Each structure stands twice: as structure tokens, then as C-alpha cells.
Structure 1
Amino acid sequence: MPTQEQLATLQAFGTATIHEAQGQMGAMASHIKPLDPSRRLVGRALTVDCYPCDNLMIHYAITQAQPGDVLIIDAKGFTEGGPWGDILTLAAHKAGIKGLVIDGMVRDAETIIEFGFPVFSKGLSIKATNKAQPGRVNVPVICGGVTVNPGDIIVGDRDGIVVVSPGRVAEVIEASQAREDKEDRMRQQLEQGKTTLELLNLDPVLERIGVR
């Protein structure tokens, strides 16, 4: 498993950088957005497969969590109910859970933001949900169009969510740093008067498509 130092290093990179560094893989769909864009997130995936408009398995999953986990909930994209709110936020915090990513809705947004708990979701719904249907915990799920396995590393920021296989963390950190260094050099060259066409060697492309 990745070390805490590795997780902190990974979190320091933007999700866009990580996505590019691992071959443009692992990015959740853009409809998964942060409730509070100022909050960043990194941790191990604790996955939940739950029935639409039912949060029984979410309550159960919190009791199975380890400190440092991030809840990844496949809520089937259901938008007419908010299976997560302020009570579950407090329960998750007390269990040491780092944050929530749900392909579904949440509610009690103002309280959650004030609490400082990172939440990424499709949006908001004030409607209540049931607590009656079965589901599964710690199994592969689909969230935001991406397969997430238990123990995958989840990184979130203002731009979105990216999933990293734990076995690739060291490699992704190295590639992310290389990309950051390359972009730093590009910024310096732009300050010196270079153009992006020059730096990215785009003139041949423009000529090929007849723009030049």
C-alpha cells in the first residue's frame, strides 16, 4: 500500500496532472463535482454499491471503514433523492473517513461545507431516501464512469476526481513531477516571448490542415 508520504505527494499534484501522467486514465466524468471547490481529497477507496434512493448500505459501510478511507458510492446516478447529508457526514468524520464521492445527489450542503468534509457528487436534492434495500460493500463499482476497486487511491480537487491504482502510485508520482517540471519550463519560455505554437510544434499541424 502507498505510504502517507506518497499520498501527500500525490495530493500536491492537480488531478489534471495526475490524469495526464497516467496516460489520460482514471478521470471520473465531469458531472462529479466538489460541493466545496476549496476542499482537496486523497485516500483509499471504500466502495459501496447501493440501491437507487436507498442509503442503508452507506450507513453500514461507515461501520466498516478504516481511518483514511474515502467512500466511493455507486448510487446509480439517481437524482431525485439525496442519500447523503449532515448526519452521515458527522458519522463518517468520527470514523476517520476522509471524504465522499457519490454518483448521485447529496443534501444539507451548507452544513457539510461549514463542517469542512470533502464531498464530490452529481448535485443536490432535498428529497429523502429509504433505508431498506440490500447492496454490497468493498466490491468493484462504477462511479462517474470509472471502475473503482477497493483500495484504489482517490484524488480530488476543484477540477474533479481521478482514480489511481495503488500499485502505480510511485510511477504516477514520478510522471506527474516530470510533467510539472516540463510545464514550468514552458512557462519560463512563454515569459521570454515564445508562443505555444512554437513550444508544442504545432505549425506543421496547421500546415497539414490548411490553416497555413
Structure 2
Amino acid sequence: MTIASENTTVFDAVTIDRAVRLGTATLHEAAGRIGALPSQIARITPGQSFAGPAVTVSGPPADNLWLHRGLLASSLGDVMVVTVGGHHEAGYWGEVMAVAARSRGVAGVVIDGCVRDSDALANVGVPVFARGLCIRGTDKDPDGVGGVNEPLTLGDVVVYPGDLVVGDADGVVDLPAARVDEILDAADARIAKEARIMAALRRGETTVDLLDLPKETR
């Protein structure tokens, strides 16, 4: 594989702010329960969330050369989404790469593998989401097979370059670029409906009545 054409998807600041505010669980539901990346991929950098267009990166097991190439293809506001050949027991990302990502304005990093230098990562300012921590090092094989800005699969989700990727305390969701406005509007409506339900609960009504749930088993 090779480095494909540069990601040209741009979301304005209002869209990014809305996506972060609405949250991954609500966006996933509003999108029709699609786009949820594997739950094992979780936030490594405490308190940090992100939203931005995907720059997709794939690389071979125990090798992070393609992540460096992905950094070259990334620019202000992008989110790197990375697969590593299913080999999780290596630290594919650390402080040096995080500082490089910060200098390029990368909004977040999602790795279907492990990272290291967790204390330092928390202070760099680039949100990092991964399967966990691993101190094992990686190679940089110039002949390793990988790619940048080509579709890739994480769990049951196919991530396309330019998709809107959002990460927060609950996990990571991938939203098709062409549906982002529709999904955000549906998420706003969902939030408003939930607010009405919670107000009714505070008045003493029940979830069974409000959600029209069966009161007894058949």
C-alpha cells in the first residue's frame, strides 16, 4: 500500500464543538447505532476529548514507521486512526510522537494497539485513545506493508479518510462525513427528549410509563 491523496475533509469549529458536546454515546445512538469502535480502545490521556476528520493509518505488527508517515499526512485538526496488524503487545506511540503531533496540530490519536510514556502523554495536550499500555518497543522496517488515507477496519467499523471521529470518556465513534449534519441534528433532538424525560422523572413519573415499557412479563 502507499500514501493516498491528502485528506481534504474540513469541519468548521461549530461542528467540532457540537460533536464533542453531544458525546460519543449520543452520537452513536443518533446515527442509528453505527460507528462504535471496539470498547477496548479507551482514553489514555485523562480528561481529554476530541473530534476531527480521520487520517487513516495501517501498519504491520510491532512496527510504527507508518505512524510516522501518517503524521506527515496529518494537519491542523486531523485525527489519526491507526491499525497495527492485530498485534497489540507493543508501544506504538509515545512522548516523541505526541510532541510531533502537537506541533502539527493533530486533534487526537486512536490506535487499535498499545502506547507507552503515559505520564508524559497526559501533559502533551494531544488526546490519545488506545487498547492500553505496553513498554515493548517497535521496529521501523522500510519494507513493511502499510498505508495512509485508505479505508481500514476496526472491529466491525470501516473507517474512511475524512470521517468525523469523536472520542471522550465513553469511547470512540466514527461518523460518515456525508451524514454528519444529519446526525448532529438527531443527537440534539435526542438530548432535548432526554431532558424532558428527566424532568418528568424528577416530578415522580416512572421510566416504565415515560418510555412505554411493558409493566409485566407475558
Q: TM-score, normalised by structure 2?
A: 0.91
Query: What's the CA shift for 1:193?
Result: 0.1
Partners of 1:32 and 1:144 within 8 A in 2: no
**Aligned residue among 64, 68, 76 for 1:59:** 68
Cα distance in 2 between the residues matched to 1:172 and 1:52: 35
Q: Map residues 122-201 of structure 1 onto 2, 5 A cutoff.
A: 122-132=131-141, 133-201=144-212
Partners of 1:11 and 1:41 within 8 A in 2: yes
Query: What's the CA shift for 1:76?
Result: 2.7
Cα distance in 1 between the residues matched to 2:86 and 2:118: 18
Pick which of 114-123 and 170-179 moved more.
114-123
Residue number in structure 2 paired with 1:15 = 24
Query: What's the CA shift for 1:144?
Result: 4.1
Instruction: Give the 3 Å change call, closer, same or farther, for CA 136–106 of structure 1 in structure 2.
Output: same
Residue number in structure 2 paired with 1:83 = 92
Partners of 1:55 and 1:131 within 8 A in 2: yes
SS in 1 for 2:166: strand
**1:68 is aligned to 2:68:** no
> Please, what is the CA RMSD of the aligned residues?
1.2
Give the ranges of 4+ consecutive aligned residues of structure 1 lying more than 3 Å apart after TM superposition. Answer: none
Cα distance in 1 between the residues matched to 2:115 and 2:156: 18
Structure 2: gaps of 5 or more residues: 1-9
Residue number in structure 2 paired with 1:202 = 213
**1:29 is aligned to 2:38:** yes
Cα distance in 1 between the residues matched to 2:200 and 2:39: 31
> How many pairs does the alignment contain?
207
**Aligned residue among 91, 111, 115 for 2:120:** 111
Q: Deviations over 1:21-54 (max 9, x none)?
A: 0100111111010003411110110000100110
Partners of 1:28 and 1:144 within 8 A in 2: yes
**1:44 is aligned to 2:74:** no
Instruction: Among all aligned residue pairs of Structure 1 and Structure 2, give the percentage whose two residues are the same amino acid.
Output: 40
Cα distance in 1 between the residues matched to 2:106 and 2:64: 17
Structure 1: gaps of 5 or more residues: none
Residue number in structure 1 paired with 2:4 = none
Q: Deviations over 1:147-176 (max 9, x none)?
A: 100000000100000011111111011100
Pick which of 154-163 and 134-143 moved more.
134-143
Residue number in structure 1 paired with 2:7 = none
